[in-house]
Structure 1
């Protein structure tokens, strides 16, 4: 069983993708299940986790409707306003949908790097724990000390770091990111997604550019806490689904680790879906 634990769909006409502008020409069109099916088939991928791309509950409802009608979508990571007074009730409402497996505030787009530590967010994180939902941390390296603190305050929060925290591979910025990722891996039970790295490696990337970052993730999170994802269609800014699937497979040392990273770890992380 191979699971792509991070992919997106969107329809431009919905109008709530503020980050998605005509300047991102390869992405500035609709991406829906029929676009992904041939890629999954060609790479032997059995199911996916569909992740939010807009900071609205309306988009989460849109994705849940897609999941209801798309057998290969095993679960949805949605969005809600963690700072709203009604956040706890809204999380409990959304969690009643059998396809909701997690939530993701778009932390990378929030001006306050320490936003996740604001006291008014505590009820939202407590509701996530109560509802057994995964927290997808969409962060940059500068957020990692705050994420480490957050996970220490909520040790029962099941969390995953999206895209390896988006290290600046293009400029070979490694040391600070590596130290912070090592600390989080040591001090928490967080998972980390093996995804999005080619996009951070620049237009002239090679496997050699990415390899040290992947090796560091393996060294610290190990094969039981890494989860593979494509980040398609954002991936297409840097490469193709086929190429990333092949490269990621080549980084994994043996079949046992591959089975974990490409399959069962996603089930351990997101839990709510069944195959």
Structure 2
């Protein structure tokens, strides 16, 4: 079985500056640390590196660093950080990114932006430039921003969009689980109505504080399946962010393996092709050969 991890983070705070790292995340997570967390029983494993949000002026340096360690880390594609609302500056940044063969898409973190930001003309201009280059867009948003992502998809229908982390729904904790809200499920279905939008089965462990039960997360995976169908879902580990046990403030070894097993067993129970969810859909979306 071949696995493509569609959402891998790597960073080294001794080489680049990150103003959001704290606690057990505030240390090096790079190729050596990742290799120690490789999945068991998988004959071939590769990954898509997704920008880890260094300070804005170092976004291009992050791509250089990720590209340099791509081979030992098994990274076959890079989703680079880029501000899409800066007009000419955005175009220059995208042109610089184009010199890296592994760059297949960009992510401008929307989760901290004000309402309506992704529908502003400056952002839409940047989104159209991303599409013109044949790249994709990773949408990392809060649950209450799903409608805005749907509106973005309608405004730029030629732009392939993938929703990170199912839109970060509230799922509660392992001891006090929450059911999917009807508002989130409705917004997810509305987003899934746009055929160029995919969804990553990622990030739910982080939303649960790093400790979860299969019974807790399965209703959310079912909602994603109902909204997007089996050919537009892709597994992502969100490592190492989703490998932190928040209650104990530690990095939990083997949690990446456990999330893989959680999604694999769910897919098998639903009669979904594991090759689609764990490989083909990511390869298709990111146009990885």
Tell me whether the two structures share a fold, i.e. TM-score over 0.5.
Answer: yes
Shift of 1:40: 2.0
Alignment of 1:110-121 (within 5 A): 110=113, 112-121=114-123
| Maintained 8 Å contact 2:118/2:124 | no
Q: Choose the corresponding residue for 2:278, options 254, 262, 272.
A: 262
Q: Indicate the residue corresponding to 1:151 in structure 2.
A: 153
Which range is displaced more, 241-250 or 118-127?
118-127
Q: Indicate the residue corresponding to 1:131 in structure 2.
A: 133
Confirm whether residue 199 of structure 1 aligns to residue 206 of structure 2: yes
Which range is displaced more, 118-127 or 128-137?
118-127
Shift of 1:89: 3.1
The 1:73–1:193 alpha-carbon spacing in structure 2 relative to 1, beyond 3 Å, is same
Which range is displaced more, 88-97 or 209-218?
88-97
Q: Indicate the residue corresponding to 2:259 in structure 1.
A: 244
Which range is displaced more, 199-208 or 262-271?
199-208
Within 2, Cα distance between the matches of 1:109 and 1:63?
24
Confirm whether residue 52 of structure 1 aligns to residue 79 of structure 2: no
Q: Indicate the residue corresponding to 2:93 in structure 1.
A: 90
Within 1, Cα distance between the matches of 2:196 and 2:9?
26
Which stretches in structure 2 are left out of the alignment for 5+ residues?
Answer: 173-177, 246-251
The two structures, once aligned, show a CA RMSD in angstroms of 1.9
| Maintained 8 Å contact 1:26/1:236 | no
SS in 2 for 1:2: strand
Within 1, Cα distance between the matches of 2:209 and 2:27?
22
When you count helix as a share of all residues, which structure comes out higher? 1
| Maintained 8 Å contact 1:129/1:158 | yes
Q: Indicate the residue corresponding to 1:35 in structure 2.
A: 33
Shift of 1:10: 0.5
| Maintained 8 Å contact 1:92/1:127 | no
Shift of 1:207: 1.6
Shift of 1:64: 2.3
Which range is displaced more, 202-211 or 120-129?
202-211
Shift of 1:203: 5.6
Q: Indicate the residue corresponding to 2:249 in structure 1.
A: none
The 1:256–1:217 alpha-carbon spacing in structure 2 relative to 1, beyond 3 Å, is closer
The 1:73–1:204 alpha-carbon spacing in structure 2 relative to 1, beyond 3 Å, is closer
| Maintained 8 Å contact 1:48/1:75 | yes
| Maintained 8 Å contact 2:199/2:228 | yes
Count the aligned residue pairs.
268
Q: Indicate the residue corresponding to 1:2 in structure 2.
A: 3
SS in 1 for 2:77: strand
Cα distance per residue 1:134-172 (max 9 Å; x no partner): 100011111111111110000010110001011011154
Within 1, Cα distance between the matches of 2:112 and 2:208?
20
